[in-house]
Chain A
Amino acid sequence: MNKLLYPLAAVLILTGSAFTFIAAQTWQISDGYSIAFSSDDASGIFKGFKGTVAFDEQNPAASKFDVTIDVATINTGNGLQNKHAKSDEWFDVAKYPQIRFTSQKIVKAGNGYQVMGDLEIHGVKKPATIPFSFKKTATGGAFAGTFTVNRNDFRLGKPGGDVGEQIKLDISVPVTK
């Protein structure tokens, strides 16, 4: 009996672990994404967005986001504001060319999901929780999320001033398989 028990246990453990480590579906970020920000007196978009998006609706725990935004692609619609935003007073593009978000944990929350991870802006890394939704489409799917960050947390600009301290980010990312 013991001769059968150990091999059987080993097979069960191996089978179980194989299911545990099933990777989530990896999605390709499509053109047409929108990374928009807005606050009092300033708003705009970022155009350079890339990274790895692994997401499984049925298994959010196995999902993983690791995405970056090229800060130099900021567009406020005004040339002077763009230049100002890229300067060392704000994003300091020369020194910190990327905004990075790396997920640590993704959980189901109500009708959508929440991703907890590290958000790095202007060389400052802070934990952030981003609520998002995922909708399947004919060609793949679309992620959408809205959240706010306090620019003072990331040493962006000077405290106070015309630009509001709470910056709202609206993110919409269509993906394909």
Chain B
Amino acid sequence: MFSKSLLLGIVSGLLAGIAGVVYARVYHSSLGADFSKVAPAIRIIVSSLFGGILAAVGFTLLDKIGKAKGEIVFNLLFAVISFATLLAPFAVKLPLDLEAPELFPGMVIPMHFFPALAWFTLKPLFIKNR
């Protein structure tokens, strides 16, 4: 079970990272706000991958502990934790040479949901429902 969820976590994390990088590029070209200094492509991908692997560990644990209800609890937790992490972009203090820091949350907030979105989308391909 863990190998399947780990694979799902890695794949969904990578996809979320790629989606994040693409979104950052689109954001930069459309609004002119360049935050590549604080959120470079590699950091976006590694963070998303970390989120995916963490989700895999959490899913496996909750599936073992909660049995049939484990997935429900996991889905709820994944969504709630994704929401909770939104506080970070609002609180972060960027280097002063970066202009328009008010545009930073607009770039990274959607990215915080990409790992969960990728996980929920790809899960039926990797783990069948009981």
Contact = CB atoms under 8 A, between A and B. Distances in A.
Q: Answer yes or no: do A and B interact.
A: yes
Interface of A: 36, 44-45, 75-83
Interface of B: 90-96, 98-105
Contacts of A44: 96
Contacts of A75: 96, 99, 101
Contacts of B100: 79
Contacts of B102: 79-80, 82-83
Contacts of B94: 77-78
Contacts of A83: 102
A45 B95 CA distance: 11
Nearest to B103: A79
Nearest to B101: A79
Contacts of B96: 36, 44-45, 75-77
A36 B92 CA distance: 19
B107 to A, nearest CB: 11
Q: Which of A75, A76, A82 has the most CB of B within 10 A?
A: A75
A77 B99 CA distance: 8
Given A78-B94, A79-B100, A79-B103, 8 more contacts: A75-B96, A75-B99, A76-B101, A77-B94, A78-B91, A78-B92, A78-B101, A79-B90
A69 to B, nearest CB: 15
Interface of A is mostly: mixed
Contacts of A45: 96
Nearest to B106: A79
B103 A76 contact: no
A111 to B, nearest CB: 29
A87 B90 CA distance: 18
Contacts of A36: 96
Nearest to A80: B90
Q: Which of A44, A76, A77, A83 has the most CB of B within 10 A?
A: A77
B93 A77 contact: yes
A82 to B, nearest CB: 6
A43 to B, nearest CB: 8
B130 to A, nearest CB: 45
A170 to B, nearest CB: 12
Nearest to B95: A77
Nearest to A78: B93
Contacts of A82: 101-102
A171 to B, nearest CB: 15
Nearest to B90: A80
A77 B91 contact: no
A79 B105 contact: yes
A166 to B, nearest CB: 20
A36 B95 CA distance: 13
